[in-house]
Amino acid sequence: MHRLVSAVFLVLAAIGAVRADEPPRYPGLSRAERLRFETGRIRFQTRETVASGLGPVFNADSCVACHAEPAPGGASAMFVTRFGRTEASGTFDPMTNLGGPVLQANGIVADGCTVAGEVVPPDATIRTRRKTPPLFGLGLVDTIPDREILRLADPDDRDHDGIAGRPNLVGPRVGRFGWKAHIVTLRQFTASAYANELGITSPELPNEVKPQGGPVVCDTVPDPEDDGTRLDAVTRFLLLLAPLPRPRAVAAVGAGRVAFRRVGCEACHTKRLHAGRTHPVRSVRGRRVPLYSDLLLHDMGPALGDGIVEGFAGPNDFRTAPLWGVRASAPYLHDGRAATLEEAILLHGGEASAARARFADLPSATRAALLAFLASL
C-alpha cells in the first residue's frame, strides 16, 4: 500500500509540473490544415478593439483572454455572471429586458462616448457565476452524431440505477456545448462567445447585446461587425485543436481507473461516444472519443443547482462535464467552487449521490489512485 500511495503522489507531482506552451493539434495535418490552424490561432489570440466591433458591452477583448491555461484554447479561473428571476409561478425569467441572462461587466469608451458595464438588477432572484471551460478536442464533440448521444439516454431510468440522462434538444438536434448543453454546433458555440463575451456580431448572431437591456450606443461599426471571416477562422482552429495529450500512466493510474468504474462514475463520465465521419482530420473519423461524458443532462441536486433554465435543462440540471484534460482545468464545477478534484466529487448530489457515497467510503489508498487516474486524463 505504501508503494501505491507513493506512486500516486509522484504521478500527481509530475502532472502538476506539465505546462504546454502551444495549443495541441492533430499529427499529420496537411499544409493547408496547418495554415488554417495557425490562421485561426492568431485570430483566437487577437485583441479586438472598438474599431473592430468590440462592445458596446463585453467581458473580454479576445478569446485567449479567458481560454489560456495551460495553452491557448484551455480553461482559466475567469468567470462570467449569469442572472435571472424565478417568477411566483415558478417559471424562469432570463431578464433579457434588463440585459440578462449573461452579464457583460465592461463597456467601451469611444470618442468621448462611454458605456457602463452591466450590473445584476436588484430584482434578480438568481445570481450565479460560470467558469471558463477548456476547448481542447471540441471538434470531435461537434461531429458526434445525435444518435450516438441519444442511445445513452435513459430519461425514465428504465434500468433503475438512479441515473436518468436526458438530451437537451434544440429543435430536432441534440445540444452538446455549454454547461447545460444548450448549443448544438461548434460554429454556434463560437458565435455565441463572440456575441456575449466580446460583443461582436456575426451572420450567426447579427444583433447587438443591448447594455442592461437599453439602447445600443457608442458602437458605430455596422452589424454584423464580423462578416463571418473571424467566426470561420476560430471555428476551424477549434475543429483542429486536439485534446490535451495524456501523460504516461503508471500502475497507480490503472488501479484508479478500476476504482473509477466500480464506484459508478463511468455511468455518466463515459468513453462510449464516437466521432462522426465529418471531422476534417481523417485519422480521427469514427474513432472513440475519450471525452468521459455522455453529453446528457443530469439532475445534480439543489446544492449544486444554479437556478438557471436553458432549453430543457432545469435549475439543477447540468451536462456531464467532460473529464479529458481535467488535470489542467482547476478550479472545478460550473461555478469553480471546488479547488480540487476530490472536493468536486464530494460536492456531487442528485443522480450522482450514490457514486459520491461510494467514493467517500473508499480506502485512502484507493481514493488516491482514483484521483491520480483523473489527474492523468
- How many C-beta atoms lie closer than 10 Å to residue 210's C-beta? 17
Q: What is the mean pLDDT of residues 102-126?
A: 97
pLDDT reported for residue 4: 43
Q: Is the pLDDT of residue 346 over 90?
A: yes
Give pLDDT, residue 1.
46
What is the spatial distance between Cα 275 and Cα 142, in angstroms, rounded to a whole number? 8
The beta-strand segments (E) located in 210-356 are: 297-299, 317-319
As a whole number of Å, the end-to-end CA separation of the chain is 23
pLDDT for 196-227, tens place per residue?
A: 999 999 999 999 999 999 999 999 999 999 99
Give the residue carrying C-alpha cell 495549443.
23
Q: How far apart are CA 8 and CA 43, in angstroms?
A: 40
In angstroms, rounded to a whole number, what is the distance separating the alpha carbons of residues 38 and 34? Answer: 6
The pLDDT tens digits for 55-76 are: 999 999 999 999 999 999 999 9
CA distance 221 to 227: 12
Residue-level pLDDT at 211: 97
Cβ atoms 304, 333 nearer than 8 A: yes
pLDDT tens per residue across span 232-280: 999 999 999 999 998 876 777 999 999 999 999 999 999 999 999 999 9
**Residue 308 identity:** I
Q: Grid coordinates 490562421 are at which residue? A: 39
CA distance 81 to 104: 8
17 vs 138 pLDDT, higher one: 138
Phi first, then psi, for residue 209 (nearest 5°) are: -70, 125
Which cell numbers hold the place of 84?
Answer: 435571472
What's the pTM value of the predicted model, to 2 decimals? 0.92
pLDDT of 6: 44
pLDDT exceeds cutoff 90 at 3: no
